[in-house]
């Protein structure tokens, strides 16, 4: 199928979050999360690999050590995706904005979390929806050589070894009880980005909350979230367990840059440097990128889309990616993968069955196209709660997830044979 791909971003036109015009620029984290197929996200990885996902191919080719997670060198990843798309004989890439909803032809809108204002208005006009935006926050990145390893150390939680890793894939910065509460006080007092009037009632996605918003929910919240100290032993002081720990994950292939895991923030730049420099080991940190905040856009898919991602009010339009109400890079790419498969079959007048809801990718599709409650619909990561439960009760969570995974991968193999 010959495709014309429109990309709004170019050298003189960006977004509030993107820094380049590369395709598949990783804006927030550089991680696709857990790669173990007995986790829900790892299962989605495995299914997408079986379906020859371009995004998973490029991720595997540019991965960096990250414990049990699949993380990439963000520059190499974007370069590789960009080159494969630009060099494809059936893809014509045009650097231009689409601001209207075409009434003819087969279209897929995968405009993501930063859909332009003009196109957002057109989508609202055609769908009748009036609530489409929430915020995502971006975590800071630190230069490794500026970290004090007389205080920090390398270790993955429970020394777990992941793809390309050795069980020592994270840099850990420990805080004792006094340091932790001082950090919380500074975090809460730090100057934050002010919202515009029209932004003030926009909800956050719980999976990507700014750390200061989490801290406002309770002084212990961070200690049981991104700063939890479990599974870690400080070799500089093995007798005393840290009260809290900040982890940094490798962000590029060279291993020179590390991002602060779970430290999305809406603190102003000056406040970030001041507050984060109080963290033991980061007193002299060189922040190569500070955190930020950007708008995210999604539609009420359960109301608007049919079971092959077509807009009910205008079936020549499909939606894909994060704008459909999935959350996360991999989930977004998975819905794009399905939209492409569905569209190509339509264009070749071929019938196709949907993937089984017992698969990760099929369960996401069901969630978007009717499985979720439309009145309370919010963005969702893949999780085993979206997949139909087992008929037999299995007490062990580990055994249960293994059965889910084996069942799903068998169903994907069956679907591939049908395709």
Per-residue pLDDT at 377: 83
* 353: helix, strand or coil: coil
Per-residue pLDDT at 370: 87
Per-residue pLDDT at 247: 96
pTM of the model: 0.80
pLDDT in tens, 201-212: 666 776 678 899
Nearest to 192 by CA among 283, 294, 292, 285: 292
Residue linked to tokens 């009036």: 130
Residue linked to tokens 């020179």: 256
Per-residue pLDDT at 199: 58
Cα distance between the two ends of the chain: 16
Q: Which residues lie across from 257 on neighbouring strands?
A: 143
Nearest to 244 by CA among 206, 269, 211: 211
CA distances in angstroms from 343 to 41, 44, 81, 107, 347, listed in the order given = 25, 21, 21, 9, 6
Rounded CA-CA distance 136/150 in Å is 34
CA distances in angstroms from 246 to 121, 154, 165, 198, 211, listed in the order given = 41, 12, 19, 34, 12
Rounded CA-CA distance 216/233 in Å is 28
Q: Is 111 exposed, middle or buried (0-12, 13-18, 19+ CB in 10 A)?
A: buried
Rg (CA), the chain: 22
Per-residue pLDDT at 59: 98
Per-residue pLDDT at 133: 63
Rounded CA-CA distance 253/396 in Å is 37
pLDDT in tens, 12-53: 777 766 778 899 998 878 999 999 999 999 999 999 999 999
Token pair listed for 52: 């020859």
Per-residue pLDDT at 134: 66
Residues composing the chain: 419
Cα angle 290, 17, 133 (rounded to 5 degrees) comes to 120
CB contact burial 55-66 (16+ within 10 A = b; e otherwise): bbebbbebbbbb
Per-residue pLDDT at 136: 66
Rounded CA-CA distance 47/50 in Å is 5
Q: Is 347 exposed, middle or buried (0-12, 13-18, 19+ CB in 10 A)?
A: exposed
Per-residue pLDDT of the chain (419 residues; tens, 9 = 90+): 999 999 988 767 777 667 788 999 988 789 999 999 999 999 999 999 999 999 999 999 999 999 999 999 999 999 999 999 999 999 999 999 898 899 999 999 999 877 888 888 888 888 876 656 666 667 899 999 999 999 999 999 888 877 767 778 899 999 999 999 999 999 999 998 876 654 566 667 766 788 999 999 999 999 999 999 999 999 999 999 999 999 999 887 778 889 999 998 989 999 999 999 999 999 999 998 888 876 678 899 999 999 999 999 999 999 999 999 998 999 999 999 999 999 999 999 999 999 999 999 999 999 999 888 887 787 888 999 899 888 888 888 899 999 999 999 999 999 999 98
CA distances in angstroms from 80 to 83, 99, 176, 332, listed in the order given = 5, 28, 43, 18
Which residues, other chains included, contact 142 with Cβ-Cβ below 8 Å and sequence gap of 6+? 248, 257, 258, 259, 260, 282, 285, 286, 287, 288
Per-residue pLDDT at 114: 77
Nearest to 387 by CA among 413, 417, 355, 415: 355
DSSP string of 91-118?
A: EEEE-----S--SSS-EEE--GGG--HH
Rounded CA-CA distance 311/304 in Å is 6
Rounded CA-CA distance 208/230 in Å is 21
Torsion of CA 264, 66, 410, 386, to 10 degrees: -20
Which residues, other chains included, contact 47 with Cβ-Cβ below 8 Å and sequence gap of 6+? 334, 359, 360, 361, 408, 409, 412
């Amino acid at each position: 199928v010959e495709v014309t791909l429109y990309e709004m971003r170019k050298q003189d036109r960006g977004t509030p979050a993107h820094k380049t015009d590369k395709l598949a620029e990783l804006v927030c984290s550089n991680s696709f999360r857990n790669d173990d197929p007995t986790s829900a996200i790892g299962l989605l990885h495995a299914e997408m690999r079986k379906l020859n996902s371009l995004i998973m191919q490029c991720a595997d080719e540019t991965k960096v050590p990250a414990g049990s997670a699949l993380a990439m060198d963000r520059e190499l990843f974007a370069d590789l995706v960009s080159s494969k798309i630009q060099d494809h004989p059936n893809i014509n890439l045009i650097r231009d904005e689409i601001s209207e909803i075409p009434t003819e032809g087969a279209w897929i809108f995968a405009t993501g979390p930063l859909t332009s204002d003009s196109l957002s208005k057109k989508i609202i006009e055609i769908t009748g929806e009036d609530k489409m935006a929430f915020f995502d926050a971006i975590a800071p990145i630190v230069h490794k050589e500026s970290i004090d390893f007389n205080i920090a150390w390398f270790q993955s939680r429970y020394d777990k070894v992941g793809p390309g890793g050795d069980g020592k894939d994270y840099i850990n910065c420990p805080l004792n009880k006094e340091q932790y509460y001082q950090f919380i006080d500074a975090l809460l007092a730090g100057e934050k980005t002010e919202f515009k009037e029209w932004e003030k009632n926009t909800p956050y996605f719980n999976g990507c909350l700014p750390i200061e918003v989490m801290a406002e929910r309770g002084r212990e919240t961070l200690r049981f979230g991104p700063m939890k100290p479990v599974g870690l032993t400080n070799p500089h002081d093995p007798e005393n367990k840290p009260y809290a720990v900040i982890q940094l994950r490798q962000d590029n292939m060279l291993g020179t840059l590390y991002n602060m895991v779970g430290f999305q923030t809406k603190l102003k730049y000056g406040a970030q440097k001041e507050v984060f420099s109080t963290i033991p080991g980061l007193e002299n940190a060189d922040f190569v990128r500070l955190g930020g905040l950007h708008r995210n856009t999604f539609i009420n898919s359960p109301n608007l889309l049919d079971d092959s991602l077509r807009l009910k009010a205008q079936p020549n339009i499909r939606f894909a990616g994060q704008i459909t109400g999935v959350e996360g890079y991999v989930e977004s790419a998975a819905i794009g993968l399905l939209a492409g498969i569905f569209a190509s079959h339509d264009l070749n007048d071929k019938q196709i069955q949907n993937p089984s809801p017992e698969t990760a990718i099929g369960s996401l599709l069901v969630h978007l196209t009717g499985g979720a409650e439309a009145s309370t619909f919010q963005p969702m990561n893949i999780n085993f709660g979206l997949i139909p439960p087992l008929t037999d009760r299995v007490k062990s969570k580990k055994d249960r997830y293994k059965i889910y995974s084996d069942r799903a991968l068998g169903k994907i193999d069956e679907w591939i044979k049908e395709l």
